A and B are shown apart, each in its own frame.
Chain A
């Protein structure tokens, strides 16, 4: 029992970080029907930048988030303008998968040239500290990572619900045509939405770099998890993504602790298939109709 509770704690903490990673993905889909397969590569890129800032300039990874986020936002806006805007809106959903996959390959290639394919990890002095609460060990880094993810998700929520940009974004998610008729500049909202999504990716990357070792190829593993999370949660639903991320974190950790670590990562796919049999639109998604 102790083992299971310990695993649940670990799973919730890991799931929180995955929730942050998945939030950008589901946001980008909600706003402009773009599936960003490069999200994983952007997380890895964020992890590398924060690694360099830490090892060469001694900037704490958590501080580096504040430095990287604005730059990442700008990169996101630029990527949207150059690669995603030209896609025809009726096939954007599917073509975006391929275009962003190509972007992911490009990022992987550039990272491999700069950093080679050796595994790295950002290791600040406090990386091995842990707390003991009621007999359960909690790694400080994971706790802080969970906290930071929570704070960023809260900020994202506030941006979406308390600002003018947020209102435009939500309007575009609900009904793009009506939003445009009411004066929402859809192109600008899409660009900013993608910028936000990339910013959350790099922030998540800084956190990721401390809890897992990574190399340029790590993005395949990340994106396969993240995509399953957003599909399980329902494409475009932020709450669904957070919920699904926590489900994934907990089920994987519990199975790793009780049955076998080699099989635990498959459990999530089993859950996904099970949910899709009952609800093809995911936990909180809307049914897709009409033309593919």
Chain B
């Protein structure tokens, strides 16, 4: 069922090229800065979607993986001194793999629970991670946080390497999402989402499927965290393991359409610039929280299924009324949204 079609390939490469070209067209550093956060959240939301969207297991602890990635990068800097420049980008896959493996034991306990209990257990994981960042003083330097050496990039294009690294993480996230959604693992996850007991009865190895999804989600999230830590240059516990990071990613996935491949990216493209604009124009971070809450409530109440599934419904309704059926590249293979 996984076929690489020419339009599909063109679309993937086209989007990647478009994203990658952005900092060469808009060179002002504040614009690229917003770009970095937009692409980062797109990657985070896509990573969240692999577990939360495909299997229906609502994870609210992804900020813990993000923090683990960020600390992983910073600790490598501090203790093993991997140097600066471009080298920290090359260790990212290692950090992603490391975090993906490291979370498995806790994830094994977490996926034994279901629905709301699972969501709550993941929230606890988030706070455990934050507490550990405070307490493991020799490793994380506690509340003082860790500082990374300034990268030797020229001032005028300082943001560009970070931006491109984020685009790479996003591309990997979307590619993996597509690979999962169109393969055996995806079928298992969708079966779990629809009815886990029945899926298990039919012989789906549910624990294995869920753990695989957690590992992919965690690894990708950690890689984004690593790039973020290098870009910010300074991390401390509340900042690196921030519940707002989870909430942002989940909100974007919901807005764009959870369970779809491009939905989370679309959600990030809409929300992050809006959010940055709000933070900029309102100044005070407190009003920004209120505005954020209002947007969130609006999305949840008015469009709980997200933009892409709603559009897909409209298109499907129009097509069936015309009686015309036409395959449309990978979009036709896009997994159905949660019904």
Q: Which residues of A contact B (CB under 8 A)?
A: 29, 33, 35, 83, 86-88, 91, 93-95, 97-99, 101-103, 105-106, 108-110, 112-113, 220-221, 223-224, 227-228, 230-231, 235, 262-263, 265-266, 269, 272-273, 276-277, 280-282, 285, 288-292
Contact = CB atoms under 8 A, between A and B. Distances in A.
Contact of A105 (B120, B131, B132, B292): B292
A108 B123 contact: no
A265 B131 contact: yes
A266 B57 CA distance: 25
Contacts of B192: 292
B106 A273 contact: yes
Contacts of A105: 247, 289-290, 292-293, 296
Contacts of A88: 304
B221 to A, nearest CB: 18
B171 interface: no
B119 A94 contact: yes
B293 A280 contact: no
Given A94-B58, A98-B254, A113-B286, A262 B135 contact: yes
Q: How large is the interface on B (under 10, 10 to 19, 20 to 34, 35 or more residues)?
A: 35 or more
B250 to A, nearest CB: 7
Interface stretch (B9-17, B109-117, B152-160, B268-276): B109-117
A35 B58 CA distance: 13
Given A86-B301, A113-B286, A280 B113 contact: yes
Interface string B148-166: 0000000000000000000
Nearest to A289: B197
B289 A109 contact: yes
Contacts of A94: 58, 115-116, 119
Nearest to B108: A277
A231 B123 CA distance: 11
Nearest to B115: A292
Contacts of A91: 304, 338
A201 B85 CA distance: 51
A103 B292 CA distance: 10
B290 A93 contact: no
By CB atoms of chain B within 10 A, which of A83, A103, A276, A281 has the most?
Answer: A276
A179 to B, nearest CB: 21
A227 B116 CA distance: 10
B195 A227 contact: no
Given A224-B124, A227-B123, A262 B117 contact: no
Q: A interface, by DSSP: helix, strand, loop or mixed?
A: helix
B292 A228 contact: no
Contacts of A95: 300, 304
Nearest to B106: A273
A99 B297 contact: yes
Nearest to B112: A280
Contacts of B120: 35, 227-228, 230-231
B57 A292 contact: yes
Contacts of A224: 123-124, 126-127
Given A91-B304, A220-B243, A109 B58 contact: no
15 contacts: A29-B116, A87-B300, A91-B338, A99-B297, A102-B296, A105-B247, A109-B292, A112-B289, A227-B124, A230-B120, A231-B117, A273-B106, A280-B114, A292-B114, A292-B193
Contact of B113 (A99, A228, A276): A276
Contacts, number: 139
A262 B142 CA distance: 11
B290 A110 contact: yes
A109 B115 contact: no
B300 A98 contact: yes
B287 interface: yes
Given A95-B300, A235-B117, A266 B293 contact: no
B304 A228 contact: no
A109 B109 contact: no
B124 A228 contact: yes
B87 to A, nearest CB: 34
Contacts of B195: 290-291
B240 to A, nearest CB: 15
By CB atoms of chain A within 10 A, which of B126, B131, B251 has the most?
Answer: B131
A221 to B, nearest CB: 8
Nearest to B110: A276
Nearest to B289: A109
A227 B113 CA distance: 14
Interface string B185-217: 000000011111100000000000000000000
Contacts of A35: 116, 119-120
A269 B109 CA distance: 12
Interface in B237-253: 243, 247, 250-251
B301 to A, nearest CB: 6
A291 B338 CA distance: 12
Nearest to B132: A266
A105 B290 CA distance: 7
A93 B131 contact: no
A280 B192 CA distance: 18
Contact of A290 (B58, B197, B250): B197
A248 to B, nearest CB: 12
Contacts of A263: 135
A282 B117 contact: yes
B136 to A, nearest CB: 10
B284 interface: yes
A288 B296 contact: no
B70 interface: no
A238 to B, nearest CB: 17
By CB atoms of chain A within 10 A, which of B128, B192, B197, B284 has the most?
Answer: B128
